[in-house]
Structures are given as C-alpha cells and as structure tokens.
A and B are shown apart, each in its own frame.
Chain A
C-alpha cells in the first residue's frame, strides 16, 4: 500500500494516496477542475489542456491530470494565468465544435456546458472563426448509438471504451486540424463490426456519441 499524503487544494485540507493524480483527488473532494480527456485508472492522455492548476513552487500552471500529489502540496485551481489558459483553451475547443445544444442528445449532460457554467465562459467564441468541418457525415448505421463527428472534442475516451467493451473498432485518423475519430478505413460503424454496446456513448463527455432516444 502506498502512503497517504496531505495537501491543500484551494484552502481545503485533503488527503490522498501518494502518487494519485491531482485531478482525481480534487474531483473526489468536490473541487471541480475542467477536464475532458482524463480517464481514471488510465495513463493520462493530456490532450484537452483544460485541467490546468497552479501548484505552489512550480513556475507555470500544470495539467492536474498528469500531476501526482505529494505531501504538503499546495494547489490553487484558479489564478489569472490558469483562468486565461482555460478560457483560451475552451474558446478554441468551442471554435471547433458544432454548437446546437437545443437539438443535441448531450444537452444538460455535457461537460462543455458544465465547464462554461463553472468558469462563466461563453459557449460561443467571440473572435474566432468556426473551424468545424460540417461535411463530416453523421454515422447513423447502428440501432442504438449514433456518432456526430462535428461535435467530437477528440478526447479519445471512446477509443479506450470500445477497446475494453466493444470490438476495438475506433481510432484516430489524420493529423492537425483534420484529426478525427473513425473506424479503420473510415467505414460505417455497422460495417466495422460495432456491437452497439453503448460503451462509447457512456464515456463521451459531449454529445458526439449518444444513445438514440
């Protein structure tokens, strides 16, 4: 058994197992830190760049999903620098997200809405140009689940979920701004052998993979 350590997050004294990632420790203690890509018990993917916090003694904000806790650590989940990074990161994500909450299956159960509320950020980015590729087709080939790639934030969670529970048919394709999650050969979920287990929709933090009504 690893040892227990005590730390302070936003003036709250908490304890945790040494080496646990800070993000989870905070969340378990009801301290919210924005996050999209972290999966508990998995190697941090560290791609969404929203979980920044200040750790006293460190020069710059760090991603809490990759930061192990240690004895006497002092953490601030908010600071000017953190807020600026989260605001810009969130704006960028929203500039690449097909925004249509009213008709979205993820409405009210969406991590983006949650972040916007918690950090008082607008859902619609003001200065940025929309970068969503609206041409990307919705995959409606299955009975139960549906995939709308225009809403995907590329957190990668569904890939892991599919590997663990389904047939492992999902992966990233392309690079840069064209990066998407798709099946091998970009065929439909049905053709790729989807089991319709719904594990992907379960983990999807937004409305990109969802269970049909």
Chain B
C-alpha cells in the first residue's frame, strides 16, 4: 500500500542535545533517514541510542535541536502517532490480558491497520493467542511488543533492540518480518547490539558513542573503511609491539582488543605465513591465532574507544 508523502525524508534531525544533569546523553546529533530506508543505530551500552530514539518518538523532550518525522514535528503529535509504530526497549504489557486481547486493544487506538490475528501470525504467536501475557516467555513477550508496534500498519517503525533475548529461530523470523516491512517501501529505525542483524537488515547504519555519531554509511562502506576484508587476531608471548605488527605485509589496520592484537589485512595468505615466520625469528610463541571475514563488529571495535589510538 502506498502512503501519501509530503516530504521525502522519514526522519530529519539537526543538532540534537539531551542532558541528564551533568551527563550529556545525546551530544549534537544529526541524522537523515530517507523514506523506505532501514536505518540501524549501533553503539555500546549507554551510548545514547534509546535516548535518541525516544526523542524521535516524541516521548522525551530534548534540550536542543530540531526533529522532523515524516515531514512533521511533534507539535502536532496525534496525527503523527497514527503513522508510526513503536517497540520500546522494555515494556511489560498488562499481565492478565491475553495476547489477542492486548493486540486488539492496541489496534483500537489506530484509525486503520491490520487485524490482530494477522500480526500475531506475523510474529509467530498463533499458539499463544489466548494465553495471558504473564505466562509468556521473555522472547514471546518481545514478539508481542513487536506485534503491537505493527498492528497500526505504520509508515515508520521504531524498534529498540528488537531481538535482544530472542532465540536464533525467533530472531531470524523477526528479520523476515522487518525485511518484508522494508520491502513494502516503508521506513524503519532499529537499534541493536548484533552486527549481523545490522548488516542483514539495514541499508545504512550509524555508530554512536557518547551521544555522537562517530561513523555512518552502508555496512559495506564502513567495513571497506577498515582497508582490508579479513581480520587476524593473535596473542604472542613474550608480547610484541605495534612496530612489529606494522612491519608485516598487507596490514591496513592495527588495534588492540582484550590483550590481543587485531590486524585488518587484505589477504590472509600473505600476512599469516609472514606473522608465523616473524614470531619464530624472535623466539616468541604464537597463541590464539584466529581469522575471520571483516564485519561491522570490527568497525565497532576499531571505533568505540578500543582503537589503538590513545591505547598503551
């Protein structure tokens, strides 16, 4: 179903600031999300993701900045609420209502939308349709929360850590739900700690730390910025230094993470044999050698204060 658009941007944010006393939770954040785009916010605990998202949802006031959602501001909020769907990071719905009763109640708040049974099936809770919320598992409750977010057939969906605590199968099912949603040309903002999820679902991601965006782009673009496509991790005893790492062939990035060296490399078959030889020449033992395809995880580690720069 096509939605009338009076603006091409789903979300436009300029200079967003939110303070809690002395703590600056969001520190001058700009964001542009196009219609039909699925956008991911990544960042460590306390980075300011939830705070940002709740300001965008019109649930928290900000201290400075401009927020435009679907071409409107929160000053004319009620109409806007009809067009967005929200799953908060944490909500306990009423204990003694059934799944179907809960979704039906949420449906009644929207002028239009899908039937409760449709969204219950979408998140795979048909079996639990008539079970009380208090009797659901944590993951099932999370899926119910997402059903409630979808029941108003929103143009823009906010999901704050939608798959935290879900088993792999439920997570995959939810990915399908979000993919379908995006496939209908709608927009979505999600926060997550799972890089795989962001890579799979998001057209673009932003990495947030201390309330600022420190990197932004498509997952491929961000991984490309690492300068290599493979990552080599190792530990040596006695330990080696950064100069040693830089001397190896094909190394484009060096970081230190949990007492291990992390090298971003262009080709494993050039770097790994050279590493083994160089350590043998020094009489150092090689421990814990692992390699993997570079992912957003590596971008995250390279950027969120665990980068070599500034480290000992």
User: Do A and B bind?
Assistant: no
B interface residues (Cβ-Cβ under 8 A, vs A): none
